[in-house]
Structure 1
Amino acid sequence: MIGFTFGFSSILFLFLVILVASSIRIFREYERGVVFMLGRFWKVKGPGLVLIIPIVQQVVRIDLRTVVFDVPPQDVITRDNVSVKVNAVVYFRVVDPEKAVIQVAKFFEATSQLSQTTLRAVLGKHELDELLAEREQLNADIQKTLDAQTDAWGIKVSNVEIKHVDINETMIRAIARQAEAERERRAKIIHAEGELQASEKLLQAAQIIAQQPQALQLRYLQTLTTIAADKNSTIIFPVPIELLNALINRVGPAA
């Protein structure tokens, strides 16, 4: 009888030890436990030591740290009907453990799939030039759209970064030709603006010389000085047309 009592006490003590051990949960600083009482939500516990009543209570462990995942390359057709492949990186974290467990099944997979569809939807509203030149604005648009949709799940999308835009070779050559044409257009405009400014300055000079005829003689002497400094063997002297007319008038009657 004594032996049976000792054996039963040992079993009972061992059962109590196992029961206490199974009721102890330790949550790290970045973890929380969503506790259910008989299948109904009770409260969120943690961090630190938490006691759970076995069988009656169940707990789901949630990590609150920022999660980073790659969005696989997505086929996107831009607004100007250009097909490209785009991949991105999404940063998010759980801010409400209760919603992350109750409102959505497997919040990580749900956020990943939503990121892929949102990436295609947002980028499809923009042209290729905007996709290449305005990445910061597009990142902000995608992040804002994702954050609004995941708010009901207790998820905060903090940042989205477009990593790479893959364009086929034909489109790359077309972009290169477009850039070359743009540079030629700018060069022609700059050349035309230079000609316009030069003509305006010549007009101003002509007006000044017309007001002061002595300036023409000074300009003539300056030109001769410049020619002589070049050590040319031939020097051309400009002769006023009035002098030629006078000579022709004198020679004409004699002939």
Structure 2
Amino acid sequence: MIETILWAIAGAGAAAAVYAGAAARVIKQYERGVVFRFGRLRGEARPPGFTMIVPAVDRLHKVNMQIVTMPVPAQEGITRDNVTVRVDAVVYFRVVDAAEALIRVEDYRFAVSQMAQTSLRSIIGKSDLDDLLSNREQLNQGLELMLDSPAIGWGVQIDRVEIKDVSLPETMKRSMARQAEADRERRARLINADAELQASKKLAEAARQMEDTPSALQLRLLQTVMAVSAEKNSTLVLPIPVELLRFLERAAPESGGAPRAAGAAAPPVVAPVTPLPPVEDLTGPSVEPAPRSEAA
């Protein structure tokens, strides 16, 4: 009798252990458990930790609540200004309602991926090439709104969408390079012209200052001579002030001679030409040579 009771207790304990092993579940911190009993949703999502279900009756589905990073394959499209580009992006999303993510859509990951590809193609067709290259923040926000509208009904929240790269044809790259080079050259010419304008203003101011003080011109001449002599050249170029040349021109009429206008060239000197003797006609009578003397 006692042995039968012991065997019954042991059997019940073994059955309870088997039942506990079949019913016990552990949900991780970043997961939520959704229980279906005979195909119907059973209450709210189970929190993380240890939980029990009814074996063969309940089915527990674990849903990851972490942020999922999903790359969007490169999509080829034509922009609004008729340029063929390839654009790839990345989507960051997470599940906010585990039950809705399992009930509303068959596979929320695949659904988000297809929606991201479709929205990316739509963004490419509505944008210009300059917008894709420079206004990416605005395009990212528009793409996020396009994805978040249907995803919110699936229990999924789109955290962020980023356009990774924009691939251009080689011909377009060369055209953009030539455009950038031309723009750089234009800016360089403008800067050079501005520098010339500022330098001319300073030179005009310096000329007016030297005109009021003639000694400044002499000091500048000495500075130029010192700068040339510092290079240890064998040839020294000494500039002569224009005022000295004008003084010499005014002094020339006083010393004698006809006055000559400043800058006029000296009259050319013509040498007398001696006329040549006439040449006899080669067809005339020949002239015999004179006889030689015996003394010679």
TM-score over 0.5 for the alignment? yes
Hey, what's the Cα distance between the residues in 2 that align with 1:30 and 1:239?
Answer: 92
Identity rate of aligned residues, in percent? 43
Hey, what's the Cα distance between the residues in 2 that align with 1:60 and 1:147?
Answer: 25
Change (3 A) 1:51 1:179: same
Hey, what's the Cα distance between the residues in 1 that align with 2:81 and 2:210?
Answer: 57
Q: How far is 1:44 from its partner? A: 1.0
1:36·1:43 contact (CA, 8 Å) conserved in 2?
no
Residue number in structure 2 paired with 1:25? 25
Q: How does 1:102-141 map to 2 (within 5 A)?
A: 102-135=103-136, 138-141=139-142
Q: How far is 1:243 from its partner? A: 1.4
Structure 1 residues without counterparts, runs of 5 or longer: 1-11
SS in 1 for 2:101: helix
Change (3 A) 1:239 1:101: same
More helix by share: 1
Change (3 A) 1:192 1:58: same
SS in 2 for 1:62: strand
Residue number in structure 1 paired with 2:202? 201
State which of 239, 242, 246 in structure 2 corresponds to 1:242: 246
SS in 1 for 2:81: coil
Hey, what's the Cα distance between the residues in 2 that align with 1:234 and 1:192?
Answer: 30
Hey, what's the Cα distance between the residues in 1 that align with 2:191 and 2:170?
Answer: 32
Hey, what's the Cα distance between the residues in 2 that align with 1:155 and 1:127?
Answer: 30
More strand by share: 1
Q: How far is 1:28 from its partner? A: 2.2
Q: How far is 1:14 from its partner? A: 9.5
Hey, what's the Cα distance between the residues in 1 that align with 2:217 and 2:241?
Answer: 12
Residue number in structure 1 paired with 2:175? 174
Hey, what's the Cα distance between the residues in 2 that align with 1:254 and 1:85?
Answer: 85
Q: How far is 1:254 from its partner? A: 6.6
Q: How does 1:48-127 map to 2 (within 5 A)?
A: 48-53=49-54, 57-127=58-128
2:221·2:239 contact (CA, 8 Å) conserved in 1?
no
SS in 1 for 2:198: helix
Q: Which moved more, 1:33-42 or 1:147-156?
A: 33-42
1:78·1:127 contact (CA, 8 Å) conserved in 2?
yes
1:76·1:123 contact (CA, 8 Å) conserved in 2?
yes
Change (3 A) 1:199 1:239: closer
Structure 2 residues without counterparts, runs of 5 or longer: 1-11, 261-296
2:252·2:259 contact (CA, 8 Å) conserved in 1?
no
Residue number in structure 1 paired with 2:161? 160
1:175-223 Cα shifts (integer Å, max 9, x gaps):
2212221221222122112111211211221232233333223223333
2:97·2:155 contact (CA, 8 Å) conserved in 1?
yes
Hey, what's the Cα distance between the residues in 1 that align with 2:212 and 2:129?
Answer: 58
